[in-house]
């Protein structure tokens, strides 16, 4: 069941590194290992798509927030055990205690699939730099096929068979959906040994009116709603690709 855990930490006036994600990623595995060492090793050794994401750390006054999302049901009990044993996060020289209990949000794959309507215009907000890997290159524009193919790969890797989406749907996507509005900018992410360029901002994806085959719209909506859990593109376990669906452009401007 797709799961989001939002953590609120007491940051106070502590100085923190520019990029806290490596420490948050390490904390995730410490918690997971405390709960189930064998599971932690399996998750660590798995190839893409990974069954989790880790967001960057954001600060607001004396508190800080970050999210971990899970795409595989097996991870939650182990993670909760580890969190109970170690209710704090160590980032470089700083120890951040929990300011509140983690906020849990869950939606089953069946619920997401069944709740999908046939809205032809979908707006996605890329909250952290988003990039894709294509032909051994990094590609930082949120092309419809790049975006929704990344969701489809994760959905079909972790969703139960009855609600999986046929790979042939990608052909419908390529022929039917275009970016019709956007407000994007590039952003650099500094990793230990390299930098990565991604995009942040908002893009609207619309089903072309001349497309007579409307059968792909419901899967499109399901995958758009799944984005908040699975992230977009690559390096979603390293803070990139944090994404949420928004209702309209007014919501973005408020």
Domain region containing 63:
3-106
Overall pTM > 0.75? yes
Range scoring the smallest mean pLDDT among 77-91, 184-198, 220-234: 184-198
Q: What is the CATH number of the domain that holds 220?
A: 3.30.70.1900
Distance CA 198, CA 242 (A): 11
If asked whether residues 65 and 120 sit together in one domain, one would say no
pLDDT digits (tens, 9 = 90+) for 6-55: 999 998 877 888 888 999 999 999 999 999 999 999 999 988 899 999 99
If asked whether residues 67 and 141 sit together in one domain, one would say no
Q: What is the CATH number of the domain that holds 101?
A: 3.30.70.1890
Q: What is the CA radius of gyration of the chain?
A: 18
If asked whether residues 91 and 173 sit together in one domain, one would say no
If asked whether residues 151 and 70 sit together in one domain, one would say no
Does the pLDDT of residue 254 top 60, yes or no?
A: no
pLDDT digits (tens, 9 = 90+) for 196-248: 889 999 999 999 877 767 789 999 999 999 999 999 999 999 999 999 999 88
If asked whether residues 113 and 32 sit together in one domain, one would say no
Q: What is the mean pLDDT of the chain?
A: 91
Q: Of 106, 134, 149, which residue sits at a domain end? A: 106
If asked whether residues 175 and 238 sit together in one domain, one would say yes
Q: Of 81, 106, 131, which residue sits at a domain end? A: 106
If asked whether residues 159 and 67 sit together in one domain, one would say no
If asked whether residues 88 and 187 sit together in one domain, one would say no
- Let me know: does 167 contact 160? Beta carbons within 8 Å: no
Does the pLDDT of residue 108 top 90, yes or no?
A: yes
pLDDT band at 79 (very low <50, low <70, confident <90, very high): very high
Name the DSSP class of 73.
T
Provide CB contacts within 8 A for 36, sequence distance 6+.
Answer: 77, 78, 81
pLDDT digits (tens, 9 = 90+) for 48-59: 899 999 999 998
């Amino acid at each position: 069941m797709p799961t989001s855990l939002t953590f609120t930490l007491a940051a106070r006036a502590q100085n923190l590194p520019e990029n806290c994600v490596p420490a948050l990623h390490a904390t995730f595995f410490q918690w997971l290992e405390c709960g189930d060492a064998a599971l932690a090793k399996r998750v660590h050794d798995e190839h893409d798509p990974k069954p989790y994401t880790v967001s960057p750390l954001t600060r607001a006054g004396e508190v800080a927030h970050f999210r971990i999302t899970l795409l595989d049901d097996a991870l939650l009990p182990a993670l909760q055990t580890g969190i109970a044993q170690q209710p704090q996060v160590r980032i470089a020289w700083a120890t951040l205690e929990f300011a509140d209990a983690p906020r849990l949000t869950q939606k089953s794959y069946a619920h997401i699939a069944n709740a999908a309507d046939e809205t032809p215009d979908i707006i996605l907000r890329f909250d952290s730099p988003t990039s894709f890997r294509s032909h051994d290159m990094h590609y930082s524009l949120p092309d419809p096929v790049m975006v929704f193919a990344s969701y489809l790969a994760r959905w079909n890797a972790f969703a139960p068979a009855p609600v999986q989406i046929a790979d042939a749907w990608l052909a419908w996507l390529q022929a039917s959906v275009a970016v019709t509005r956007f407000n994007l900018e590039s952003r650099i992410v500094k990793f230990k040994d390299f930098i990565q360029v991604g995009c942040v901002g908002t893009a609207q994806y619309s089903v072309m009116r001349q497309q007579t085959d409307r059968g792909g719209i419901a899967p499109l909506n399901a995958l758009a709603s799944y984005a908040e859990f699975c992230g977009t593109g690559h390096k979603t376990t390293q803070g990139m690709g944090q994404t949420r669906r928004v209702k309209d452009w007014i919501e973005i401007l408020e």
